[in-house]
Amino acid sequence: MKKSPLKVIVTITLIVVALLVLLVVLVNRDSESFGIEFDEAPSTEGQPTDGEADAPVTVVEFGDFKCPGCKAWDENIFPQLQEDYIDNGDVQYSFVNVLFHGEESRLASLAAETVYAQNPEAYWDFHHALFSEQPDGNQQAAWVTMDKIEEVADGIEGIDTEALMEDIEADTYMDEVERDEEMIDAFNVESTPTIMVNGVMIDDEGTFDYETIQQAIDAELGE
Ligand code: CA
């Protein structure tokens, strides 16, 4: 039996439509599987950044210097991200302060913001050095003190420790800490570290394995 041209056209159209539907389903499933999608990535305006300004993907960490998970992230995941995505220009990384642990979080955040205001080049060294000072073990033990900040700052090139301590005492850059708190509210951050890859807030149930973050970045890069 000879097929009519109309039947052929209808069949091809149906196949094309079916493929498009499948594609839409697959694309949506891919992006949804990494977490909550926001309309926009968090703004990095006024925030410390690492990597190229024109990187196609932004990764924003909402973190707290007092949080053990954030220390683990900083020591285990961040260096891999830096090697694989930040150094080659694929990702611009940024950190927003979360103040979930009271006065110590406030002091650590203010100190970090003050270092950043004084010399952005010195920020990341201070950031990583402060995390490395977080003691293992008793998570509640107090360790963020003015003395500790002075000691950490003294060990980093490009920080004027005296000016730093004066500005911390005077709350000079408290506005920057408050700017971060507004972002925490805007993105409804409830735990730390919370990681956003462009507009996607990663939900991996707190496991933070490198593979998940890698897949989320690759999806945004279109790889
Ligand atoms: Ca900030």
What SS3 state is found at 62? strand
| DSSP output for 4-19 | PHHHHHHHHHHHHHHH
Two tokens, residue 139: 């998570």
For residue range 49-69, what is the model confidence (pLDDT) as tens digits? 999 999 999 999 999 999 999
Q: How far is the CA of 11 from the centre of ligand 1 (A)?
A: 57
CA distance 59 to 73: 13
- What pTM was computed for the model? 0.84
Q: What pLDDT is stored for residue 125 in this prediction?
A: 98
Q: How far is the CA of 17 from the centre of ligand 1 (A)?
A: 47
- DSSP 8-state symbol, 75: I
Residues within 5 A (CB) of ion ligand 1: 47, 180
Mean pLDDT confidence for 6-30: 77
- Is the pLDDT at 174 greater than 80, yes or no? yes
Q: What pLDDT is stored for residue 2 in this prediction?
A: 63
Q: How far is the CA of 189 from the centre of ligand 1 (A)?
A: 15
Omega before 5 within 30 of 0, i.e. cis = no
Q: How many CA atoms lie within 13 A of 77 on its CB side?
A: 19
Q: How far is the CA of 45 from the centre of ligand 1 (A)?
A: 9
CA 181, 183, 185, 187 dihedral sign is negative
Mean pLDDT confidence for 156-166: 98
Q: How far is the CA of 138 from the centre of ligand 1 (A)?
A: 27
